[in-house]
Structure 1
Amino acid sequence: MTDRAPITDDASGQAADSDASVDPDATTNVPSQASDGQASDGQAVIDLDQMDELLEQALEHYLQAAPLSSPQELMRFLPEVDLTTRRFLLVELIKLDMASVSEATVTGSQLGVIPRVEDYLTHFSDVMTAADVPLDLLMEEIQLRKEAGEVLDPADYARRFPQHDSMIAELLGGQLSAKPEATAAVNYRKRPPEFQIGQQIDDFVIIQTLGSGAFANVYLARQLSMSRLVALKVSKGTGDEPQALAQFDHLNIVRVYDQRMLDDPPSHLLYMQFHPGGTLADVVERVRHTRPWDRSGEMILHAVDRSLLKTAQAVPERSALREALRTMSWPMAVAWVGIQLSRALESAHRRGVMHRDVKPANVLLSAEGVPKLADFNVSFSGSAGRAGAASSFGGSIGYMAPEHLRAISATTFSAVEEVGPKADLYSLAILLWELWQGRRPFESEGRPKSWTDAVEQQLDARSSLSAPSAQSEDALARLLEKILRQTLAFDPNDRIGSGAELEARLILALHPDAAQLFDPEPESWQGWLSRQSPWWVAATTILVPNAIAGVYGFFYNNKDTLDTLFEEVEGLETTFLTLVLCINSVAYPLAVLLAIYYTSRVVKGLESTSAGNEATEEDLSSALELAHRAAVIGGLLWCLAAVLYPSVLSFMHPEFSRREVGHFFLSHVICGGVAAIYPFFGLSIYAVSVLYPRMVRSKLKDPNFDQHVATLVRRCERYLLLACMVPLLGATLLLVSNEAAKHVMLIAIAATGLGLFAAFSAYRYILRQCSVLAPVLSSKQDSILSL
């Protein structure tokens, strides 16, 4: 290779945000070794997290030293570690150098040729030979040459690298170029200019360096025209982040004010809201050094206060949120952080913006500890094929969803896999698990030899999740683990579907009693009842009280009135039986049709919400109103019979006296009370325990919850009053009943007395269930979650 071209661009393989590799905690020197053990060659064994840091630093040091006069100079960017790690780092450095040299060649800033892999191997024969060249490095060369318009010969590559012969034809058949996003970001991958403390740049005075990396620097600056502190991000290229973030005005997304372009030095300035509380990475580090039983929400405040001290910012006084965080258990604090970030992702996803780089370092903290999502990797549209590690391995690969890993895998020749909202939620679940446990939910065994190896190892690791390091008897911790495991399902179809749904589940984690309603244990009675058909439950709850009322009415009226009058009044029995047939032939079909109609609306709502749709007001009302409607149907029809029977009988047979009319009327009113009160309380319990929670559990949203509860409680009180009146009516009839009917009435009074106790118990149960639901659904709650 001759006439090395000046390196003007970085060859980052993914079209990603221009500061995807910024790490405020990065050191300035490439470490020489790690202390986690020794490899067979006597060098230190490097784990994945250490390799993240090594790669980040090697790339940054390369950009600081570029352009290079010879490929041999890459040696000074390789740390003294084991051979496998050195080979991995060398592959990524070669990719970066090849892309930089070829970019200068293609743009004409230097004469030269597209570099070949062998141009580097001659200088690093002790680290890597032609037999060791991984496929992704070979793909880098192929892609660069194809972009330069060269005609490639498969036989040439088969001869040079026979170990990849089976893949050469496909590589040269156009599959690689089907991933244009892989090279779209080269122009934006340049070393950013560095500014000094006190230096004025445009409208900004640099106060402090907040973070620096290979592709962007972040400063604390004062904007002179607005007299405010801002976080100033300086890079070479714009990317799509400013346009994407400008859409948001969300509590949990860093607010971007504006952007500017400078000609001297050429740079892009993105200035945004300054949050002095550090990042969640600071909190995770503190968690790792804190015993599980000593962890609490106060750890977030300790990390925030330390960052406030570094930036000379005051600690907020009289903050309700800080006081709430201070008293939270650690699982509760983790769930609270998850709720805030779920809201942020839901807002972004609704606008069609994916983050694709959710990790602790990309979550800023306000002075009160509120998490703010930053650094949206909006340019990356779902695939990358070349120099993947150079822009994605630096800390992000450990948080990628399986489909994200497959999309960026250099050896993926199938159709590009969609990386959608569920991938962001997967990354968030990893973040929350790491925040909770101090480590990620899986471990990657072995050391990758190439970028492809790293991806494969990460995919293997995600196929089985590890258990929490500290098992807890705390119900909240168990529920949090269950939620995170659901979000970490390997198959996207098995995961929680949206940020709103994850937020809802995490809110339930803060309220375990409510969680039992929305996700009951299978062996509990709520779990059993939720598995039963609403048709069966409604039919049983309505028919049983009506049947009991019918049996009581039959025996009482026969004993008290009808048996004697049938013998004394000619034709009365025939009239009565005809009347029974006429009334029942209308009343029963009408009651059945109305019950079917109102129950079908409930079933329709359940089917809709089970399919993932949000419950409508009509769905929720149909569930909560079913009890009242069933009670009205039964009660009114019995009361109608209480009027029709004595009226028709007294009109047709004058012998049917006022006494008999009164007894008939009151006995049927008692039947109507039984047919109304007990289906109401039974179906109300069913509604608040099963139907309503099932309908709202996916989104946990009901804007009219307080109104629904007020209506339900008011009706419960009225039906409870009716339940008190029924035994009193029975006692009244007992005083004037025949001796033969008194034992029937005594049984009825005892039964309705027990029914009154049952109705009162049901009323108290419904109140308790509503109070359990209120912290989750009520808009009147002065909840710290709304802050």
Structure 2
Amino acid sequence: MNNLPNSDAADARSDDWLGDCLEALALRGPVDQPSQLSTLLPVGDIVDRRIALVELIKLDMAMVADIGRFRGIDEYLDVDAAVLSPANVPLDLVMEEIQIRKDLGQTPDASEYQQRYPAFAAMLGPLEQSIAAMTSSSIAGPPPEIDLGESVDDFLILQKLGQGAFAHVYLAQQVSMRRLVALKVSRGKGGESESLAQFDHPNIVRVYDQRQLTDPALHLLYMQFVPGGTLADVVKSARATITDTRRTPQTVASMGGTMLLQSVDEQLLSAAQIVPEDSATRRWLAESPWPQVVAWVGIHLARALHEAHSQQILHRDVKPANVLLTAEGVPKLADFNVSFSESAEQVGKAASLGGSLAYMSPEHLRAIIDRNHADQDQIREPADLYSLGVLLWELWQGRRPFDVKPTTLSWNDAATEQLSARDRPLIPPNSDSIGDAGMRDNQAAQRVLEKTLRRALAIAPEDRFVDGAEMAGRLRLALHPQAATLFDPPDPSLRSWLSKQSPWIMACLVLLIPHGIAGGLNYHYNFYEVMQTPHLKETLRWVSWIVNLTYFPLAAVLAILQTRSMVRAVDGARYDTRIESSDLSGMLDLGHNAAMIGGSLWFSSGLLFPLVFQALSPDFTMIDSLHLFMSSLICGGIAMAYPYFGTAWLATFVFYPLCLRRTMQDADFDARASRMINRGELYRLIAAIIPLLGGALMLSSPSTSRSFMFAAIAAGVFGVLVASFIHHQITEAWSRMGQVLSTKLTTTPA
């Protein structure tokens, strides 16, 4: 089993020690002397020390400003000259000082900073635009600690759940409502409450309300209490499990969703909450392999993002720490602090560029690197889906999909390296990762999950999913491996090969070959069994030529016209263009329409042939006319039933899944499935009638034709068996597709 790459280990480590450094300073308050910051720096790597020092300086500057004083960058240059000197001050620190001076009522002069930092002269030119575009740390500082058992406004503090640099989160009882809430206490007032209060979605943490206190000056945001911890805890467990060399792949695979439940239960215990005893969701998680659990988490979060995006709110900081888990393990998206809304009350506000570098999309990183010229309109819905892709890959593999080199000297350099990593190939999934080892039934789920995440991690936003609903639909395939083999067949398979062939050729072959066989059978029977005189045989020859040269070209033209919808739908799937619902309907109706056309042509020829022969030859009797008509009916049945089942099989197993493979959404699925199954019953009945008609014709035929008719009846019976088998396959396929497409039934917790 492979160990975590050094870059991933460093990335994961930075998530911990940097937060610890900032929280230690936030609890301590601004230092008396800048040199005291050196005691908070990590030991060892100069890169880590520089990153930490820059962020500590920002926080200390903000807290000093909160008490009405200004402390500039120059006062911090003696903290550690080897780490930070006048020659290597990063741009983001310069911009932080400018913003703090603005907040203190001063007027920073662009020329002053251009002289102090000539390397940034061009970027510091448009100063006002730079200040508007940047994300400033709050200068409010951390809130005061609240003792357990103390009351604040309408809230009784029960337990401290966590803290950050600028806010504390408590488990509290809202006395007036007699309910438990998560109470976020801070000095400032962000936009999170306005963002979250708009949602009423099962996968978004519900914000109840906010209150602003004046004495003391505190902002209270109270929201739904979610006791199961965060997805970051689960990621740590997954990373430790995958990289534990003492575990065999089989042991890792057998754990599956129990890892998520173990993490949740630990958090429930620490919060003195009860573990649910009778939960269908927890039972499903405990029995499911890890790739399916990851896909299940992704479905919930993709739906949450779709809800946010539908209300013109972008999250912009999707990461494991911002995903809370319920007691049943259901994920809920939280922390919209850096979200951006286009709602009317926020029009004109600058969009936040905040977020976490390790989970940012390429367009988000480019905006971080070049704040002055960043086109913030490019950081749209696909950026959130990209971050979700990184999150799910890390949850699945225990590491992020990028090979990031730990050689950065500042956040700007870190963003540049992260952006460079996005252009490199993704780290291949570890074959020994959770849920893979030897589990044949899980191969389709693994394949679908990897393809889905690779698409979410596409460099260009337009190559990703259109919205969260589309991504959720694609992830649902991983929960249903049998359905996944329909929509995403493995490459060395017949259906995969057929999906790459011309729909024109395949449709025409399936539609016209049965007509040709029926025509040959009909001619053979009539020539040897019905036409008893040389004159009638000769008449049959030239009449057949005339009729065939008329009917078969007409049938071919009509078949081509009917095939246009299938071709448009398949081309749309192959070239990633919009597929109209009418073309999907036309593709699925092709077999039925062709059967109706073919049956009509054979029925009309069955009426026309006897009239022509009676007019041309007085020797042609009514019995001969009846035989001629009956043989046309039998051949018409062949030309109806077998093309239908052939095209229905192609549509069900090849072309419809191909057309739905990208979006996994079809609002009319249930109606289409019902129509396909009902029509299959009709054409199976038609196929069963064929040998019955053959038997009736045999009983009325001369004895010399019995051997021929026996062979025809045997072929008809065989055809009925084949038709029944194909209909059963089609019915099963639509049932499996319904597991992921139907709006009526849901067979899993997702």
* TM-score, normalised with respect to structure 1: 0.82
| Counterpart AA for 1:216 | A
Query: Residues 253 and 290 of structure 2 are in contact (CA less than 8 Å); yes or no, is this contact kept in structure 1?
Result: no
Query: Residues 642 and 664 of structure 1 are in contact (CA less than 8 Å); yes or no, is this contact kept in structure 2?
Result: yes
- The structural deviation recorded for 1:143 is 6.4
Q: Map residues 157-306 of structure 1 onto 2, 5 A cutoff.
A: 157=114, 160-161=116-117, 164=119, 167-168=120-121, 170-174=122-126, 177-178=129-130, 180-183=132-135, 185-186=136-137, 189-290=140-241, 291=247, 292-306=252-266
Distance 1:785 1:594, change over 3 A: farther
| Counterpart AA for 2:659 | M
Q: Out of 37, 54, 77, which is 1:121 matched to? A: 77
Query: Residues 588 and 651 of structure 2 are in contact (CA less than 8 Å); yes or no, is this contact kept in structure 1?
Result: yes
Q: State the Cα RMSD in Å.
A: 3.4
Secondary structure class of the residue paired with 1:784: coil
Q: Which residue does 1:762 correspond to in 2? A: 726
Query: Residues 182 and 222 of structure 2 are in contact (CA less than 8 Å); yes or no, is this contact kept in structure 1?
Result: yes
Following the alignment from structure 1 to structure 2, what is the Cα–Cα distance between the partners of residues 381 and 56?
27
Following the alignment from structure 1 to structure 2, what is the Cα–Cα distance between the partners of residues 736 and 279?
80
Q: Out of 523, 531, 554, which is 2:492 matched to? A: 523
Q: Which residue does 1:137 correspond to in 2? A: 93
| Counterpart AA for 1:549 | A
Distance 1:542 1:47, change over 3 A: closer
Query: Residues 367 and 375 of structure 2 are in contact (CA less than 8 Å); yes or no, is this contact kept in structure 1?
Result: no
Distance 1:63 1:282, change over 3 A: closer
Following the alignment from structure 2 to structure 1, what is the Cα–Cα distance between the partners of residues 571 and 207?
42
Query: Residues 281 and 328 of structure 2 are in contact (CA less than 8 Å); yes or no, is this contact kept in structure 1?
Result: yes
Following the alignment from structure 2 to structure 1, what is the Cα–Cα distance between the partners of residues 178 and 66?
42
Distance 1:391 1:621, change over 3 A: closer
| Counterpart AA for 2:712 | A
- 2:423 matches 1:465: no
Following the alignment from structure 1 to structure 2, what is the Cα–Cα distance between the partners of residues 414 and 498?
23
Q: Which residue does 2:282 correspond to in 1? A: 322
Q: Out of 516, 522, 529, which is 1:553 matched to? A: 522
Query: Residues 411 and 452 of structure 1 are in contact (CA less than 8 Å); yes or no, is this contact kept in structure 2?
Result: no
Following the alignment from structure 2 to structure 1, what is the Cα–Cα distance between the partners of residues 77 and 145?
34
Query: Residues 85 and 447 of structure 1 are in contact (CA less than 8 Å); yes or no, is this contact kept in structure 2?
Result: no
Q: Which residue does 1:674 correspond to in 2? A: 638
- 2:60 matches 1:91: no
- The structural deviation recorded for 1:533 is 2.6
Q: Which residue does 1:494 correspond to in 2? A: 463
Following the alignment from structure 2 to structure 1, what is the Cα–Cα distance between the partners of residues 9 and 86?
24
Following the alignment from structure 1 to structure 2, what is the Cα–Cα distance between the partners of residues 654 and 365?
88
Q: Which residue does 1:30 correspond to in 2? A: none
- The structural deviation recorded for 1:144 is 6.3
Query: Residues 522 and 631 of structure 2 are in contact (CA less than 8 Å); yes or no, is this contact kept in structure 1?
Result: yes
Larger mean Cα displacement after TM superposition, 215-224 or 648-657: 648-657
Larger mean Cα displacement after TM superposition, 456-465 or 346-355: 456-465
- The structural deviation recorded for 1:630 is 1.1
Following the alignment from structure 2 to structure 1, what is the Cα–Cα distance between the partners of residues 679 and 330?
41
- The structural deviation recorded for 1:613 is 7.1
Report Cα offsets for 1:646-698 as digits up to 9, x if no partner. 24543675542111111111110011011101101100101111222123333
Report Cα offsets for 1:241-280 as digits up to 9, x if no partner. 2222122111111111111111111122111111111111
Query: Residues 244 and 378 of structure 1 are in contact (CA less than 8 Å); yes or no, is this contact kept in structure 2?
Result: no
- The structural deviation recorded for 1:560 is 2.5
- 2:111 matches 1:153: yes
- The structural deviation recorded for 1:79 is 4.0
Report Cα offsets for 1:723-758 as digits up to 9, x if no partner. 232233234334444577556545534443443333
Following the alignment from structure 2 to structure 1, what is the Cα–Cα distance between the partners of residues 83 and 672?
71
Distance 1:507 1:391, change over 3 A: closer
Q: Map residues 617-636 of structure 1 onto 2, 5 A cutoff.
A: 618-636=582-600
Q: Which residue does 1:426 correspond to in 2? A: 386
Larger mean Cα displacement after TM superposition, 590-599 or 609-618: 609-618
Following the alignment from structure 1 to structure 2, what is the Cα–Cα distance between the partners of residues 175 and 761?
74
Following the alignment from structure 2 to structure 1, what is the Cα–Cα distance between the partners of residues 162 and 75?
35
Q: Which residue does 1:51 correspond to in 2? A: 14
How many pairs align? 716
Q: Map residues 379-528 of structure 1 onto 2, 5 A cutoff.
A: 379=339, 396-409=356-369, 413=373, 415-416=375-376, 418-462=378-422, 463-469=424-430, 470=432, 472=436, 473-474=438-439, 475=443, 476-528=445-497
| Counterpart AA for 1:199 | E
Query: Residues 136 and 411 of structure 1 are in contact (CA less than 8 Å); yes or no, is this contact kept in structure 2?
Result: no
Query: Residues 146 and 152 of structure 1 are in contact (CA less than 8 Å); yes or no, is this contact kept in structure 2?
Result: no
Distance 1:91 1:207, change over 3 A: same
Q: Which residue does 1:42 correspond to in 2? A: none
Following the alignment from structure 1 to structure 2, what is the Cα–Cα distance between the partners of residues 402 and 189?
31
Report Cα offsets for 1:161-189 as digits up to 9, x if no partner. 56x2xx42x22331772562414x55575
| Counterpart AA for 1:93 | L
Distance 1:742 1:518, change over 3 A: same
Following the alignment from structure 2 to structure 1, what is the Cα–Cα distance between the partners of residues 9 and 471?
35
Following the alignment from structure 1 to structure 2, what is the Cα–Cα distance between the partners of residues 48 and 730?
76
- The structural deviation recorded for 1:448 is 2.3
Report Cα offsets for 1:374-414 as digits up to 9, x if no partner. 112444589xxxxxxx9957xx2222222222221257756
Distance 1:314 1:687, change over 3 A: same
- The structural deviation recorded for 1:335 is 1.6
Report Cα offsets for 1:272-311 as digits up to 9, x if no partner. 1111111112222232343423522122222222222222
Q: Which residue does 1:660 correspond to in 2? A: 624
* TM-score, normalised with respect to structure 2: 0.86
Following the alignment from structure 2 to structure 1, what is the Cα–Cα distance between the partners of residues 631 and 480?
47
Structure 2's unaligned 5+ residue stretches are 242-246, 343-351
Q: Which residue does 1:536 correspond to in 2? A: 505
Secondary structure class of the residue paired with 1:47: helix
| Counterpart AA for 2:601 | L
Distance 1:321 1:751, change over 3 A: same
Q: Out of 28, 41, 50, which is 1:78 matched to? A: 41
Q: Which residue does 1:387 correspond to in 2? A: none
Q: Map residues 62-73 of structure 1 onto 2, 5 A cutoff.
A: 62-73=25-36
| Counterpart AA for 1:628 | H
Following the alignment from structure 2 to structure 1, what is the Cα–Cα distance between the partners of residues 681 and 403?
57
Q: Which residue does 1:18 correspond to in 2? A: none
Secondary structure class of the residue paired with 1:785: coil
Following the alignment from structure 1 to structure 2, what is the Cα–Cα distance between the partners of residues 540 and 46?
57
Secondary structure class of the residue paired with 2:220: strand
Following the alignment from structure 1 to structure 2, what is the Cα–Cα distance between the partners of residues 190 and 146?
17
Distance 1:54 1:304, change over 3 A: closer
- The structural deviation recorded for 1:538 is 1.8
Distance 1:175 1:646, change over 3 A: farther
Query: Residues 207 and 219 of structure 1 are in contact (CA less than 8 Å); yes or no, is this contact kept in structure 2?
Result: yes
| Counterpart AA for 2:675 | T
Following the alignment from structure 1 to structure 2, what is the Cα–Cα distance between the partners of residues 285 and 379?
26
Following the alignment from structure 1 to structure 2, what is the Cα–Cα distance between the partners of residues 307 and 478?
32
- The structural deviation recorded for 1:638 is 0.5
Larger mean Cα displacement after TM superposition, 540-549 or 648-657: 648-657
- 2:684 matches 1:720: yes
Distance 1:644 1:229, change over 3 A: same
Query: Residues 226 and 324 of structure 2 are in contact (CA less than 8 Å); yes or no, is this contact kept in structure 1?
Result: yes
Query: Residues 637 and 686 of structure 2 are in contact (CA less than 8 Å); yes or no, is this contact kept in structure 1?
Result: yes
Larger mean Cα displacement after TM superposition, 69-78 or 204-213: 69-78
Following the alignment from structure 2 to structure 1, what is the Cα–Cα distance between the partners of residues 560 and 396?
49
